[in-house]
Amino acid sequence: MAQILDGKVHADRILEQVAIAVQARVSKGVRPPCLAVVLVGEDPASQVYVRGKVADCARTGIRSIERRPTADLSQSELNAIIDELNADPEVDGILVQLPLPKGLNSKEALHRIDPAKDVDGFHPMNQGLLLEGLPALRPCTPTACMNMLEAHGVDLKGKRAVVLGRSEIVGKPMALMLLEKHATVTIAHSRTVDLPGVCREADILVAAVGQPGLVEGSWIKPGAIVIDVGINRVEDPALAQRIFAKDPKKQATFAAKGAATCGDVRTAEAMEVASAVTPVPGGVGLLTRAGLMLNTVQAWESRTSV
């Protein structure tokens, strides 16, 4: 049976370190760090994510402010909010919560954020610095995955790593970070020929495609480490029956609530084959939020002096 890689344990450790670092500088007269969150509209999932991030700020001594415009906001109005936060000397980090409502261009918004305040690490300048292996604000989710691997003493040198997904937010930066640690990296996606076979080559398999239960146990190399980035809500009974076939707990949750949360990996099946697996929920997501706090403090430290 595989080891569960508990994200909460590692997230708590990171948040504690962040709180100590903040207090150390604040005690010397430096103003607290400040994270500005822009949440457009009333998307329920986004509201949950933002509440979690605001709670992490409170826990670590980071001041948080929110901008909550309605979903009928125009692109120019959203850009104006970002410009205002860019110009505010008291704001160290800016996060535009995704997804944005229809009609708004997320890339235009993200690219408008000052790279020095881009705590999500999505700006082309920060992604370019990552490509060159230089210090930058890096995307939180891939960084979280790397932190988890490091915390468990995984030596990536020479290992075969497969990243399932090619987004600018997770897949591509994840591949670069693994490559930086001397892994041999393959990026797989929907057009990959023999996707299960490619996944079976992986010593480290990172699933980040947003398709519930896509990765079956038969896709996993015995002894592999599986990092599941996906967070999906399953409401279709037929799909639930198929992907939760070996997961009585998920079956019970679905029967009771008519829905269940799962990752891109069939966790119960993976547990029978892999050496270690991240759960969903309770895995990478919590570490991603902790990484956001780290990035906020990094941006703050670069903009203030003791």
28 part of the active site: no
Residue of 56, 92, 120, 203 with catalytic role: 120
Query: Can the peptide bond before residue 69 be classed as cis, meaning omega within 30 degrees of 0?
Result: no
Place of tokens 């120019």: 76
251 part of the active site: no
**Tokens coding 81:** 């909010």
Q: What is the number of other CB atoms lying within 10 angstroms of the CB of residue 1?
A: 8
**Tokens coding 33:** 């760090």
Per DSSP, 281 falls in state S
Question: Would you say 126 and 295 are in contact if contact means Cβ atoms under 8 Å apart?
Answer: no
Query: Measured between alpha carbons, how far is 60 from 48 in angstroms, rounded to an integer?
Result: 19
Separation in Å, CA 225 to CA 102, 212, 250: 37, 19, 22
203 part of the active site: no
Residue of 92, 97, 159, 247 with catalytic role: 97
Separation in Å, CA 179 to CA 16, 217, 291: 29, 26, 20
Q: What is the number of other CB atoms lying within 10 angstroms of the CB of residue 237?
A: 11
Query: Measured between alpha carbons, how far is 253 from 260 in angstroms, rounded to an integer?
Result: 6
Longest pairwise C-alpha distance within the chain: 59
- The residues annotated as belonging to the active site are 53, 97, 120
